[in-house]
Chains A and B, each alone.
Chain A
Amino acid sequence: MRRTPRAGGRPHVIYLAIGFPPAAKSSSYRLRATANQFATFGWDVTVINLCEAAWEREFGLDRTLMDGVDPRVRIVELPLVRQDLETDVRRFPEARAVDPARWRAAHNRRTLASFPDPVFGGFRAALEQAVVRVHRRRPADLLMTSCAPYVNLAATWRLWAEHRVPYVVDFRDGWSIDVISGEEAFGADSVAGRWEQKVLADALMVWCVNEPIADFYRERYPDVADRVRVVRNGYDADSVPSRTHVPDPAHGLTYGYLGSINFPPDMLDSILTGWRMARRMDPVVGRSRLEFHGHVGAGSLRNANNHAELLYEHAEDDVTFGGPVPKADVDALYASWDVALLPLVGGRYVTSGKVYEVMASGLPIVSAHEIEHDASNVLADHPLWTGAVGLDSRDLAKSFIAGAEFAVHATDAERDQAREHARQYARVAQLEPAVRAVTEQVGVPIGALPR
């Protein structure tokens, strides 16, 4: 039986948004925008997140992200931190110091025993208790849950099973689909498979970030098919530079990438080798530089792992690594570049949020991903796109050179056309209809609520 919101007053949504700002994660923007949309539609929003100490251990914090959080959104922070990201060696048990691999394997087993989420599974009990506690304090009319982490599904189900709070699952990249390989991640009969089936069966709605993932779920769960909806990530308006950098080919161009540097080292290696080749083949590229900004590694491996070493190794090729950039400085960063590099993992099931932001910048785009990739669908009509050529260094070298030609010869009209192409993917434009649909489905009359 579904609950109907109480007449009068604002409905209450509990939003399980692990990774909400000020966490400096790529998902933070979607979580923030979703919470804001609910607030805009008249909901009282309670976000449940982990404490700041948890994110300091991971990719760190970006407090400028909080500037964009609707002041009506209430945030509950849970004192949960990942033990595997502990960096104070005095807290290590002897077993962990002596044999880290074995300790990690045992840690993963314990985590999985609680819930089939190898990273956050151990938080299941705490999350369940948190949603129940928040609900008891102020009954919820809806639970909005965003995955990853998938352990959120346990807390979601708990609230449904005990208190019949309807829920929406924002699956983003899905769970039983491995978006990188395009293969099934686990079988329907597995522990994770049974969880997924159970939770999705009663969901009001299931959101995915692109059509291929949505199609996968429609096919896997035909009974849920009509409730699966594509809600793309989109870009934030404050990331869009207000001006375009004027290229100076005599002094070389600036190529840039902003984002998590979490693609496989081999892939980064291919990109950097292609860059080196391009510098040899083309004089303009030979005078140019390639900047990487963003997070490299987490916890103890932040800024010190294979990726970082690869980047340092290519310093002679004018490759630099600038670390993370606060959200507030993103537009200025894009404004300083001539060409945007778009390295993406996966294939047809991956879009990534980065493609929208890069499109909105109006810059020429050098793609470094598989040819059959959802980003290719999004970029198909972009006038300043080099095309997807795969990950062979020789082909990437040609793309780098093509990017330089775009940068030097693109007209104002072409740049405007590029930005216009991106506008349909503004994040608000993607989320607003989805939150509206949820609001209507829950039975909250839009327009009757104070906004």
Chain B
Amino acid sequence: MIKVLALTGPVRESVLLDIAQQFAQRGVDLDVMCDFDATTFEIPESLAGVRSLPIAARDGELADTVRLAGKPLPYQRWIKFHADPWFRSKARHANLIVALDQGSVHAAWELAQRLRRPQVVYGIAPALALLDKYRNKPLPIAMSTVAYLPVAGRRVTRGVRRQSLLFAKAAARAATSPTVMRSEVGARAWTAVVAAPGLPTKIRSKVAYRVHMNMLAAGRTERALATTDAALARFGRASVRAALVMREAGQEVYGPTQPSLPRAVDMQLDVADAELAAMNYAKAAVAVDAAQRLLFHRALHLDRMNSPLMDDPDGFLTRWRASRAVAALSAPRGRSGTARSGPRVASDAEPGTSPNGRTARLLLVTHDNPDHLADVRRLFAKPGVDVRFIDLADDERRGALLRPTKLMIQHILAGQSAYGSRVYEWLAPHLEWADTVFIDGCAAPAVMFSMIDPGTTRIVVRLHSFEAYAAWPHLVDFERVDDLVFVSEHVRDAFLTVLPSLAAGGTRLHVVPNAMDLSRFVRPKPSRARFTVGMLGIGSVAKDPRWALEVIRQLRDVDPRYRLVLIGNEINPKLGRGVRDYAEVLSGELAEAEATNAVVLAGEVEDIPAALTEIGVIVNSSAQEGFGATIVEAAASGAVPVVRDWPFFAGREHGAGTLYPHEWVVSSPEEAAARIRDVTSTEQSWRAAGSAAAEVANGRWDWTATRQAYEDLIPTAQSAPNGDGPARTGDEQATTTSGARR
């Protein structure tokens, strides 16, 4: 039987199945090597053996990732394929090797240099044509031994050439290192090289980039910018100039300073505005998207202790706000009606019934975060309200529409697009059904819903915090959003500094905390919990667990009974260089602390209420929080809260100090340690402080206290506070994203 090995990058399951069936019709033995996770595909083994590249998840494979970084993707694919013994074995025995996509051609070509027997083709049609040509006959051997000799010889030559290049690259790296750049002589010499006439563009660009980055690392910012200027002056094409500046800015976001960022954003927005004026919406969208990816990069705002967006929003967003293309993104797109329902006002006689007297229809929308909406679902799961819940990420067919920001931008600028039609086809039926759409999070779903005229359907968007640092709100037409709900005052303030026009716009602004069922956290706490300090959620740089480690270090300097329990998944270092750097330092400190039993890494815990029974003090060391649900939950359990005065909001009108009782909030690890020592000095003082915290938490944030605010926000026919306790399961009419009822 003819053995076929197919190589492919990401492809849809239906496409791969169809390809497998076409090969099966020709009676071949097919194996497919996939450069993506195809483990969920249901391809019968009788049709094809499907092999997915292992997803690199272990620390040990990080080295591989670093080694491949910056290499062309087809080369990366070849290296990853070739490292797999299964792949090498299948290739050796194959009669036909097929590259199914362009990204696999390099890998197929490398196999052709190593194996003389198999036919090697690019494309499904030529592969099938070859099999049809030799139907019921063996495929001919591709190369004779004699013909193969020069091919093998060239492979040796290439290997020698690659080694030489690697050596040259290593020498070049040493010659342009930060150490060299610290010296004035070295820096001047390299600036001169970059500015030299006659240097090929590609080499000038590469050298300029390396010199720029190493000068920054050497602390010579002005010289770095001047070197780039010298290179830019030598480039004839605007696209080459933009590519260099974008590359530099793209790396600087991970560092302490971003001197290239303003210029990079300028360049992109200049292009965007020019292309918009020429009605080249696709090109304008590419440029706007490039600018926003830099400006709102998570490394600038979420993976560090402060954000330039919060420190100086007007300065940071000057060029962004001046762009005509950006202004076009949030310009009103029109609305054919006004929402027929709204929040309860005192004069309402009969709140909540919809026109024609039918029950109110409420659609709850999330994107892969159903837990965040659990509170609202619980509140409205009652007779008299027809509730549908959709998690847009669950729609396998259309979920991909949530990702392409470029297409969203293009659609908004152009006013129409194939992408926009797809979004309309998906979401319009929901708008037609609902009286009120409650969207959790001002991100992709809010953008997509605002792409459609809601007519008289009321749109409510709830913000948590991170959205203020992202581009999403700038893509929303707020004339199509009736209400914005902020989980705290400082989140509202942050949002208004980014989008000040909202304060005077027609969208109603509300501050309504999360509605939480805290009763499940009220459990007896044993005495042994007194010296256990807990931290819930440690999986991001913004949580800053190193600050909490400093607190426990100071506590244990005096009393070794204290220990820190860290609950939650650890930081994913793959999120970026800044995250990786933080994670490396944290990892070292944790190892040291674990060795002395100062710290326990509990990992992800299913039963949080049970885990909190062992926590006597809850510490929050975040750089910023929207609401701090974990603090509230732990306080409800009787753990004494110690909350860092979140640096993002410290010194402003609202922050941790106004959200929580002032005695909960501390400014430094020293203050935190002092408070903990104080409240835990005796068991009595500890339990008293815990009870007080629980009383505050339950009194302010339990759903019994906050539900009225939601019912006033979304009045329904049964919104008199008559319902007691959580809703019975089964009352809520949950649906799938297609609208069919489950």
Contact = CB atoms under 8 A, between A and B. Distances in A.
B122 A273 contact: no
A412 interface: no
B667 interface: no
Given A98-B75, A308-B15, A316-B397, A269 B123 contact: no
Contacts of B108: 89, 97
Contacts of A393: 418, 421-422, 424-425
Nearest to B739: A280
B143 interface: yes
Contact of A94 (B11, B122, B158, B417): B158
B120 A100 contact: no
Nearest to B400: A313
Interface size bracket, B side: 35 or more
Contacts of A267: 418
Contacts of A274: 421
B102 interface: yes
Contacts of A94: 109, 158
A277 interface: yes
Contact of A90 (B11, B101, B112): B112
Contact of A89 (B14, B100, B121, B129): B121
B367 to A, nearest CB: 21
Q: How large is the interface on A (under 10, 10 to 19, 20 to 34, 35 or more residues)?
A: 35 or more
Given A89-B112, A97-B105, A303-B125, A309 B12 contact: yes
Contact of A302 (B11, B75, B123, B143): B123
B741 to A, nearest CB: 16
Contact of A300 (B74, B75, B126): B126
A89 B419 CA distance: 35
A392 interface: yes
A301 interface: yes
B416 interface: yes
B402 interface: no
A158 B123 CA distance: 38
B18 interface: yes
A100 B158 CA distance: 18
Q: Is the interface of A mostly helix, strand, loop or mixed?
A: helix
A394 B424 contact: yes
B425 A276 contact: yes
B12 A313 contact: yes
Nearest to A271: B418
Interface string A83-123: 00001111010101111100000000000000000000000
Given A90-B143, A98-B106, A304-B100, A266 B417 contact: yes
A437 interface: no
B158 A299 contact: no
A393 B416 CA distance: 10
Interface in B89-142: 97, 99-102, 105-106, 108-110, 112, 119-126, 129, 142
Interface in B154-170: 158
A446 interface: no
A94 B123 CA distance: 18
A267 B102 CA distance: 23
A270 interface: yes
Contacts of A277: 425
Contacts of B110: 97
A303 B127 CA distance: 12
Interface string A242-281: 0000000000000000000000011101100110110010
A59 to B, nearest CB: 10
A274 B416 CA distance: 14
A97 B418 contact: no
B109 A392 contact: no
Nearest to A304: B124
A315 interface: yes
A269 B15 contact: no
A315 B112 contact: no
B421 A273 contact: yes
Nearest to A90: B112
Contacts of A265: 418
B44 interface: no
A56 B129 contact: yes
B120 to A, nearest CB: 4
B153 interface: no
Nearest to A299: B123
A309 B416 CA distance: 23
A264 to B, nearest CB: 9
B125 A89 contact: no
B725 interface: no
B357 interface: no
A89 B422 contact: no
A22 to B, nearest CB: 15
Contacts of B143: 90
A394 B421 contact: yes
A339 to B, nearest CB: 21
B125 A304 contact: yes
Contacts of A186: none
Given A97-B105, A100-B105, A270 B418 contact: yes
A312 interface: yes
Contacts of A99: 72
B120 A273 contact: no
B120 A88 contact: yes
Contacts of B11: 309
A98 B418 contact: no
A92 B123 CA distance: 14
A89 B122 contact: yes
Contacts of B97: 89
Contact of B422 (A98, A273, A315): A273
A280 B740 CA distance: 13
Of listed A87, A274, A299, A301, residue having the most chain B CB within 10 A = A87
B121 A87 contact: yes
A99 B75 CA distance: 9
A98 B424 CA distance: 41
A87 B96 CA distance: 13
Given A90-B142, A270-B418, A273-B422, A312 B121 contact: no
B397 A89 contact: no
Contacts of B419: 266, 269
A56 B128 CA distance: 13
Contacts of A316: 397
Contacts of B102: 100, 300
Contacts of B101: 304
Nearest to A302: B125
Contacts of B105: 89, 92, 96-97, 100
Contacts of A100: 74, 102, 105
Nearest to B98: A89
B112 A98 contact: no
Contacts of B99: 89, 300
Nearest to B158: A94
Contacts of A273: 418, 421-422, 425
Nearest to A87: B126
Identify which of B74, B123, B124 gathers the most chain A CB atoms within 10 Å of its CB: B123
Given A89-B122, A303-B125, A312 B12 contact: yes
Interface in A289-303: 299-303
Contacts of A56: 129
A87 B122 contact: yes
A56 B12 CA distance: 27
A392 B14 contact: no
B416 A315 contact: no
A326 to B, nearest CB: 16
A90 B121 CA distance: 8
Nearest to B124: A304
A264 B419 CA distance: 13
5 contacts: A89-B108, A89-B122, A97-B108, A304-B15, A313-B12
Q: Which 7 A-B pairs have the closest CB atoms?
A: A300-B123, A97-B109, A393-B421, A302-B125, A87-B126, A269-B418, A266-B418
Given A97-B109, A267-B418, 15 more contacts: A89-B97, A92-B105, A97-B106, A98-B74, A98-B75, A269-B418, A269-B421, A270-B421, A300-B121, A300-B123, A301-B123, A304-B19, A309-B11, A309-B15, A313-B397
